[in-house]
């Protein structure tokens, strides 16, 4: 356990941030997983409807620093390519 007041506060902040980051990442992962499932089931129109949601989630997570900018760009590129390729 932290001893100093500043270390105690840092621990509290860290816990809050970890929870928020995990929630954001889990939401993003579930969107990507759902879209990949739709593509595998040949439901391309529904997968294309998910694309703006995925882009928004990726941009937000990159903006707040949960994932890096290039990681977001790579994921956007790959999911778009997957959808277009299976069309």
* In-domain check, residue 9: no
Mean pLDDT of the chain: 95
* In-domain check, residue 5: no
Global confidence as pTM: 0.86
Here the CATH number for the domain that contains residue 49 is 1.20.58.110
* In-domain check, residue 10: no
Q: Tell me the residue range of the domain where 34 lies.
A: 20-85
> For residue 46, what pLDDT is reported?
93
Structurally, the chain folds into a number of domains equal to 1
Residues 80-86, mean pLDDT to the nearest whole number = 92
* In-domain check, residue 15: no
- List, as own/partner pairs, every contact residues 38-42 make where C-beta atoms lie below 8 angstroms and the sequence separation is at least 24, other chains included: 39/82, 39/83, 39/86, 42/86
* In-domain check, residue 28: yes
Nearest in space to 33 (alpha carbons), one of 19, 54, 62: 54
CA distance 34 to 20: 21
Q: Which two tokens stand for residue 20?
A: 């928020």
């Amino acid at each position: 356990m932290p001893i100093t007041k500043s270390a105690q506060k840092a621990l509290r902040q860290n816990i809050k941030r970890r929870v928020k980051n995990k929630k954001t990442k889990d939401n993003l992962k579930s969107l990507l997983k759902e879209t990949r499932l739709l593509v595998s089931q040949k439901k391309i129109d529904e997968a294309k409807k998910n694309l703006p949601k995925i882009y928004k989630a990726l941009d937000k997570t990159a903006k707040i620093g949960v994932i890096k900018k290039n990681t977001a760009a790579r994921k956007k590129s790959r999911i778009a390519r997957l959808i277009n390729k299976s069309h």
